[in-house]
Structure 1
Amino acid sequence: MSGALEDIRVIEMGTLLAGPFCGQQLADHGAEVIKIEPPGKGDPMRAWGQERADGKSLWWPVVGRGKKSITVNLRSAAGQDLVRRLVTGADVLLENFRPGTLEKWGLGPDELHALNPRLVITRVSGYGQTGPYSSQPGFGAIGEALGGLRYTTGDPDKMPSRTGISIGDTLTAMFATIGTLNALHARERTGAGQLVDAALYESVLAVMESLLTEYHVAGFIRERTGPMIPNIAPANAYPTRDGKAHLISGNQDTVWRRLAEAMGRPDLADDPRYATHLARGDHQAELDEMISAWTATLDADELHRLLNEHAVPNGQMYRAPEMLADSHFAARNAVAWVDSHDFGEIPMQNVVPKLSGTPGSIDWSGPRLGEHNEEVLGGMLGLSDADLDQLRADGIIG
């Protein structure tokens, strides 16, 4: 087995990122992921992100990788019947429509479990399948706001900022993946499938550390603090002589001692202002100023080498060019080069995490729209060429 999930078949319904990124992770680890897309236009991700002059998306080859694309009009009775037939041979149904949409189509959990009691139904939505907000539309950015991430991100004297990626969507997809794998494992004991209800705002809330407890017990509300966390020092980005920013994390007592030695100031390790974690937190600003003055005398590569010699966690601020040129990335195959229909061989992040026995693989980049109609609808469901021609004529498939 090259992937741990090679015996798992997933029907992916839904669009954009939170649901499809879950499908991407399952496909990376060997699952057969059959993605259902609207005829004619497909998933909007086919047109999102940076694109070439010909309008081809550079995001779709990544999020669509390893999946089989079929086109089905889910708003038609015939299209819904095709889904029912696919579900009978599937292990997972993955969707991220607004709650109630599957039920409106006659494809709710009760109907699907009547066809296949072992089916795991993974549902991704803004607010979850229940509660007073459940019917409201919710994108990743809204989940980030409600879950507390947006308020705590950015500089304190500015409006809340955001990260440079769709972190709310990807966090939810990761929790949806974890939930799906948990449900599949439980099925081995019980023989029954179940619902996985992954909400955007709850997925963000889940990574907000002790935010709620700090407020309830101590009345403390976390605020925006820019590039550092209050009372965790030193842990910040510092300037270098060649105009770069270098991240240093020396907040643990033993690491701080080694950093002081690297700075040529071993006396700082025992200075009462800096000797303990709490003391360094109380003197965070002056400590950052002192370290900045030191790092500004060194080029980034020289600083990196010196800190590594003293076993101080540190790192350069990488962009795509640095990642593609880095020897450690190459040694661990962190970047995969994958053939694509539109761009030739292209780089993308490889499968994570790394499993020793079943490492998974990226078998192909995002497929063409409806590329696997004949393979899935014909080969898997047994529809004849005449059946497929009629479905095309009726506008049920592309």
Structure 2
Amino acid sequence: MSRDEVDRTLARLRDEKERISTALLELEAHHGYQLLEGAALDGGTRRVQSEVRAGMASLWGLFDLYGRALGAAEDLRARHPKPGQAQLTELTRLLAGPSVELPVTEVPLERRTLLSVPSGEKLTLRAAVERMTPLYEEVAQAVAALDTVWSVLLSRLAEVEAERRAAEVLLDSLGEAEPELDRLRADLDAVAALVRGDPMALARGDRADTGRLDTIRTGLAEVRRRLEEAERVRDGFADRLRGVAGVLDLLRRTEAETRRVRDEVLAKIASPVLPDLPDMSASLADRLAAVGRPGQGAAPRGGWTDLAARVADLEKAANGALERARETAGVIRGLLERREELRGRLDAYRVKAARLGHAEDAELARIYDRARAMLWTSPCDLRKATVTLSEYQQAINARAKGTNR
């Protein structure tokens, strides 16, 4: 290769390496991969997990060797701004020749011979990519297939478990026995263990079979309707519980919105100083569930007065948590609003500069372009953008004073 050919090849391979790295990281971040990575599995799903982990290990191993070979070429080129024939020959070998040496364990058995030297197979960079491509496709297809089945099952399971929890709350509040609910709970526990431990056992081809979960959900819905009818005798108390539940629902949504805004801020604002995220809905929901268990008999343990006081305390705590969550969301959202405010001020200053006759001022244009680039780039460094905007304002004001003189 000539020096220009080497440089063009290096640029292309750097881009290729970046794209491969991005693809592998995105695969690891895939919802299905994350489900596999953190689960203790059985049966066919465990085999998928093992195959995916082995495939990813091979992919990262090949990618590491690929990166080392490319890095060696980059280092050599960097050390020789004007490479001679010897350097060009070595660069050609690294970039186009068999420069990626696999460990002996990576050489397939069928490619070994009785008298072969115990050294790894050598691949070109292109061959290494061709080796990685089918591996990546196999892993991606396995992850996608599993995710399709598992996501449906987990979503349906969450719905059925919510139905069960609703029935349990009602039953506990009444202090009664319900044999049918006990039977359905046992059925649900068995199916839930299968969904979480071996979801592929509930797959039919590339689709999830939710039949057992649907049957349990229908039974739970019927139990819940009977319990709701029994609860009508205590509407006054139930209304207060529902009021707290409504506040907690608002709190859950506010906390979720706060997390969403936090994620947006982290993506759009550089090094933001953020308050702690509100996280009270779960503990307050537990308290609500506890208040909703009056115990056996017509009256709760401790009497209805005591229970009413506990509900009042819970109402106060829930409303206070909701107010604080809204305040936190506003503080975090304020960073995005601050960026929009700075953008508006920048445009206003530009209009002012034009009105003063400095629309073509090269220095002002440079400061404006710098500020605009900061404010329209994610993540945005608000501190630097504010300083640059202030510099732009001061430059305009300085010219305005000069004009007035």
Scaled by the length of structure 2, the TM-score of the pair is 0.25
**Normalized per residue, which structure has more strand?**
1
Larger Rg: 1 or 2? 2
Q: Name the structure, 1 or 2, with higher relative contact order (CA <8 Å, separation 6+).
A: 1
Scaled by the length of structure 1, the TM-score of the pair is 0.25
